[in-house]
Structure 1
Amino acid sequence: MSGIGPPEPGEGTRAWESRREEDAPAPLAARYARRRRIAAALAAAAVLLSGGGYLYATRPQQPTAHARRPYPQVPYPAQVVDLTYLDARPAPAGAPPHSFSFAVLVSVASGPPVTVTRVIQPYAGLSVTTDPPAPFRIRVDSARKITITMHVTECGKAPRNAGLPFLDVTLRNTRAIQEQSFIPGPHYAQDLSHALEVACSNRNR
């Protein structure tokens, strides 16, 4: 016998039948199953890729160095202004008869400067002026002494015994204009009642 390699099995033998089965194409169902596995793997890869893109698109954005920071909001003037009563004083020279004066301290705690545009009181029988005259400005972290002079115009409309009298002050800053009622306290009430009693007693003479 000549040639190289083992002899080929003859047709019809058991070895020939076994080799024919090995070389035969895979059944159709097996090929479909293999294709389904490949398709599932590709779909899973697509889901992973799309999920990664969504996470990247929705990731928290870090503020840039050039991002503008919000400025702190300016407070309302009534929130930062305080009025403190000091004492009673003689009416200034040149004031009309039946006038009397008080000294108060007006301060601004924070924010921009505040302008006092008006100072009034609730009684119809009294008129009010201030020194310095309104409007005047008060800077932050500072206090300004104000002299309030009242003139009795009609004793019948002025209280002889003021309980808790107040002063209405109109305030303005860069945020708003507000009218704030300040109650200077019991010492102011006592001094006001005494001054009214003296002024109206002299007026009736």
Structure 2
Amino acid sequence: MSAIGPVEPGGETRPSAPPPLPHGPRGPLGSHHGHLARLYGRHRRTVLAALTAAAVLAAGVLLYTTRPRQPPPPAAPFPSQVTAVTYLKPQARGPETNKRNFSFIVELTVESGPPVTVTHISQPYTGLSTTSSPHVPFRTKEGSPRKIVITLRVTECGELPGNVGLPFLDVTLRNTRAIRTHSFILGPRYAQDLSTALQVACSNDFR
């Protein structure tokens, strides 16, 4: 009976090399390293994005803080500073006009700034009532002078002076800045025409 024992190396016969260790993404160690690499890549991208956003934000804040601030727009002028009332002439009277009613024409001009609204017109004499055409309130803007007919009606001659010195109109004006009442002195022609009208209206009834 014969038996075959282990083959002894000899000649060109050599023991075979051991199989290579697993590496790369296929083995367990390779999978672990690959996972770590992916985590690192994602973390790196997140950090870079955060740093970029912070840099952009910092640049914007720096630009905002270093940019010179624009001065606020100037405030609108007070309405009385830019409004003028000029006396033009007495309005012609018709034959049927009551002698105790008389009218004068004035012109209101806004020289600059926002539109001005006239909310009230009056005069200082208690023996006279005052109305206007157009009726208040009405608005006038820059570059558009407004003619106004002021009608006065004598209600009590005893409350009126025989000779008017410097008569004026109290006009309440409003714009986006304020509302103010201003006294406009209309000059000697208006004083003379008003005195004449009062003489006709009251004859000898002056106190």
Shorter-normalised TM-score: what interval? Answer: 0.5 to 0.7
Distance in structure 2 (CA, Å) of the matches to 1:94 and 1:80: 39
Which of 161, 179, 194 is matched with 2:163 structurally? 161
Contact kept in structure 2, 1:98 and 1:203, CA below 8 Å: no
CA shift digits 1:114-169 (9 cap, x unpaired): 00001100000000000000111001122100000000000000122100011100
Specify the code of the residue in structure 1 equivalent to 2:133.
D
TM-score (norm 2): 0.63
Matched-pair contact (CA < 8 Å) for 1:96–1:151: no
The corresponding residue for 1:183 is 185
Match of 1:63 among 42, 45, 67: 67
Question: May I ask how many residue pairs the two structures share in their alignment?
Answer: 142
Unaligned runs of 5+ in 1: 1-60
Alpha-carbon distance in structure 2 between the residues aligned to 1:92 and 1:171: 32
1:193 is paired with a residue whose SS is helix
Q: Give the counterpart letter for 2:132 in structure 1.
A: T
Q: Is the 8 A contact 1:98 1:202 kept in 2?
A: no
Q: How big is the shift at 1:68? A: 4.0
TM-score (ref. length: structure 1): 0.64
2:174/2:180 contact within 8 Å kept: yes
Three-state SS of the structure 2 residue aligned to 1:142 is: coil
Determine if contact 1:91/1:99 at 8 Å carries over to the other structure. Answer: no
Q: Which residue in 2 is equivalent to 1:145?
A: 147
Equivalent AA in structure 2 for residue 124 of structure 1: T
Aligned residues with identical type, % of pairs: 56
Q: 2:207 matched to 1:200?
A: no
- Residue 69 of structure 1 and its aligned partner are, at CA, apart by 3.8
The structure 2 residue matched to 1:103, chosen from 105, 110, 120, is 105
Structure 1 pair 175–94 and aligned structure 2 pair: CA distance change class (3 A): farther
**How far 1:201 sits from its partner (Å)?**
2.0
1:27-42 matches, cutoff 5 A: none
- In the alignment, the residues of structure 2 paired with residue 174 and residue 63 of structure 1 have an alpha-carbon distance, to the nearest angstrom, of 31
After superposition, the C-alpha distances for 1:31-54 in whole angstroms (9 at most, x for unaligned) are: xxxxxxxxxxxxxxxxxxxxxxxx
Change (3 A) 1:166 1:71: same
Are the structure 2 counterparts of residues 92 and 76 from structure 1 closer, same or farther at C-alpha, using a change threshold of 3 Å?
Answer: farther
The match for 1:128 among 108, 127, 130 is 130
List gaps (5 residues or longer) in structure 2.
1-64
Equivalent position amino acid for 2:112 in 1: S
Partner of 2:76: 74
CA distance in 2, matches of 1:180, 1:190: 22
Aligned to 1:14: none
Aligned-residue offset at 1:94: 9.3
- The alpha-carbon distance between structure 1 residues 91 and 124, as it changes in their structure 2 partners (threshold 3 A), is farther
Cα RMSD after superposing both structures: 2.3
